[in-house]
Amino acid sequence: MLAVGWGVTHHIQGTAREPPKITNFPNNHQLTSEEEDCFGKVEKHWDNYYQHKASAKAQIFMTILDSLLIKIQKLKTVKEIWDTICEKYERKLFKVKVDLWCHMYEVKCEDEMQV
């Protein structure tokens, strides 16, 4: 499936869950080591969440026509973007949709070869 290696499939399917909110402490609060560990883990989860979301958007944006990009670039979620593209291409032949998937997969494979 598309973008499995990047861990962004959940964003495309709309099943990605936001990590827990980062706790706000008062300015004069001294963090304990346990709080620091917890804060670091949550911060890492947020970083991964946004990186995967950005990777999915970038992969989609690189493979579509500019005229379609203008229409979808302001959508908030990757699922909204993907659903909009699918709606457009479902009106066309099935082959066009398959070609789009293949092109996106090729872009993914080229990027992984550079790693």
Residue 100 has pLDDT above 50, yes or no: yes
Q: Is 2 among the domain residues?
A: no
Domains held by the chain: number: 1
From CA 103, how far away is CA 94, in angstroms rounded?
A: 14
Q: Is 105 among the domain residues?
A: yes
Of the candidates 67, 60, 69, the residue with the CA atom closest to the CA atom of residue 100: 60
From CA 38, how far away is CA 31, in angstroms rounded?
A: 10
* Averaged pLDDT score across all residues of the chain: 80
Q: Is 24 among the domain residues?
A: no
pLDDT tens track for 30-48: 888 888 888 888 889 889 8
From CA 77, how far away is CA 57, in angstroms rounded?
A: 9
59-62: long-range contacts (C-beta < 8 A, 24 or more apart)?
59/2, 59/3, 59/6, 59/8, 59/104, 59/107, 59/108, 60/85, 60/104, 62/107
Q: Residue 76 sits in which domain range? A: 8-14+31-113
Give the global pTM.
Answer: 0.64
Q: What is the pLDDT of residue 115?
A: 41
Residue 61 has pLDDT above 70, yes or no: yes
Q: Is 87 among the domain residues?
A: yes
From CA 94, how far away is CA 30, in angstroms rounded?
A: 59
